[in-house]
Amino acid sequence: MPIKRVIDYNVKVRVKSDQSGVETANVKMSMNPFDEIAVEEAVRLKEAGKISEVIVVSIGVDKCEDIIRTAMAMGADSGILVRTEDDLQPLAVSKVLEKVVAHSQAGLVISGKQAIDDDSSQTGQMLAGLLGWPQATFASKVEINDGAADVTREVDGGLVTVNVNLPAVITTDLRLNEPRYVALPNIMKARSKPLEKIDLDTLGVNVENRIEILKTEEPPQRKAGIIVASVDELVDKLRNEAGVI
């Protein structure tokens, strides 16, 4: 199951002065929250006897080992780090994961529905296409029985449950579960769990970026709100200042 190292969700993101991207130097990094939910779900499935092993994989610099160890402390059995200094886009990530899935002989991939740094929400779907596996996205409930998975998804009109045969790719939504608190003894145990490191160049994957980011900008600042004394004043401001009526 793939996990990504991103800027911690509690940190205020700052754009670089040259607008080439966001500032990551000396910024707290952590596991993507949606991926944390995916790890929790995989561990729960293992605890329920539905799957036999949980393997996590991350793609990036050596510091990604930190989030792999965090996933191990949550209950993952082992990890794989595909080492690269490059920032890979979703299609390239999917191609790398395709190789890792074959390498680890995985029968189920559970991933977060998106990463909070780019919000692309593409990798899971692309990976399913490359593998030729069925997919169930934005899961709010997962049940596995008899070589298939029933996955409940939240849609505008309510809930939809789909059935997919395994192997499959499932992506997780926020309401699927609440990740467990990682206790210190489990953090210590995670240090001894196996972690395989693979150089990206050895996989023979074309990871050329297809999209060029021209500029990154902060959203424009909003004007401060005001309190009006009457309905007439509200209507006047909506008509003359906001131009909405």
CATH of the domain at 78: 3.40.50.620
Domain assignment present for residue 240? The answer is no
Which range marks the domain in which residue 81 is found? 5-214
Domain assignment present for residue 94? The answer is yes
* Residue of 134, 113, 116, 133 lying closest to 124 (CA atoms): 113
Q: Would you call 219 exposed, middle or buried from its count of C-beta atoms within 10 A (0-12, 13-18, 19+)?
A: exposed
Domain assignment present for residue 239? The answer is no
Domain assignment present for residue 219? The answer is no
Domain assignment present for residue 222? The answer is no
Domain assignment present for residue 12? The answer is yes
Domain assignment present for residue 237? The answer is no
pTM given for the model? 0.85
Q: How many domains does the chain have?
A: 1
Q: Which residues contact 126 (CB under 8 A, 6 or more apart)?
A: 90, 91, 94
Q: Give the model confidence (pLDDT) of 200-244 as tens digits.
A: 999 999 998 888 888 888 888 887 888 888 998 888 888 887 667
Domain assignment present for residue 243? The answer is no
Q: Give the model confidence (pLDDT) of 154-188 as tens digits.
A: 888 889 999 999 999 999 999 999 999 998 999 99
Q: What is the pLDDT of residue 220?
A: 84
Sheet strands side by side (includes 78-83): 55-60, 78-83, 195-199
